[in-house]
């Protein structure tokens, strides 16, 4: 089990946050007006799944700002930007975040274990679309 210094989130806080996020009517509104996101909780990571349709990796920007994860989809064909901000109940600064590009979706992984030094704020997307 991780020590308090390694792990800066409290399970009860996370469960309360998750319940509030799921019941928040703004979540459903943003799913409809911006883009849908799904949250998953695994042993080692929090995972955010973003359906992206036929977007390319260069049309997706992911960035950490304090306890907020910003996800921006740039729909070049229709000259439109869609943004989701996800506020976590802990600071993301020392948590490694990485994203995997897959056909029709991007999976964003947030490590649960806090690192000793800050991880990058700009998230690079790994992988390529199968059609390429």
Q: Which domains does the chain have, with CATH numbers?
A: 11-126 (2.60.40.790)
Tell me the H-state helices in 34-128.
none
pLDDT at 8: 59
User: Which of the four pLDDT bands, split at 50, 70 and 90, describes residue 59?
Assistant: confident
Percent of the chain past pLDDT 70, that is, above it, reads 81
**Residue from 66, 100, 104, 106 nearest 86 by CA:** 66
Query: Which phi and psi (to 5°) does residue 19 adopt?
Result: -60, -45
User: pLDDT tens digits, residue range 1-37?
Assistant: 344 444 555 666 767 777 776 767 777 777 777 788 8
Query: What's the mean per-residue pLDDT of the chain?
Result: 80
User: Which of the four pLDDT bands, split at 50, 70 and 90, describes residue 87?
Assistant: confident
pLDDT at 4: 41
Spatial separation of the C-alpha atoms in residues 94 and 66, rounded to whole Å: 10
Residue 4 neighbours by CB under 8 Å, 6+ apart? none
Which range is most confident: 19-33, 59-73, 118-132? 59-73
For the residues 69-75, what does the mean pLDDT come to?
Answer: 90
For the residues 124-132, what does the mean pLDDT come to?
Answer: 60
Query: Which phi and psi (to 5°) does residue 83 adopt?
Result: -130, 140
pTM of the model: 0.78
Within 13 A of 125's CA, how many CA atoms are on the CB side? 22
């Amino acid at each position: 089990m991780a020590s308090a210094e390694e792990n800066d989130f409290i399970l009860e806080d996370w469960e309360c946050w998750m319940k509030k996020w799921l019941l928040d009517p703004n979540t459903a509104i943003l799913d409809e007006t911006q883009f849908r996101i799904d949250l998953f909780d695994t042993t080692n990571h929090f995972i955010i799944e973003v359906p992206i349709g036929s977007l390319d990796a260069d049309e997706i920007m992911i960035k950490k700002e304090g306890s907020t994860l910003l996800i921006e989809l740039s729909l070049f064909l229709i000259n439109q930007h869609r943004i989701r901000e996800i506020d976590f109940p802990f600071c993301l600064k020392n948590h490694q975040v990485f994203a995997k590009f897959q056909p029709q979706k991007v999976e964003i992984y947030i490590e649960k274990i806090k690192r000793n030094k800050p991880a990058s704020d700009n998230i690079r997307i790994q992988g390529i679309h199968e059609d390429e």
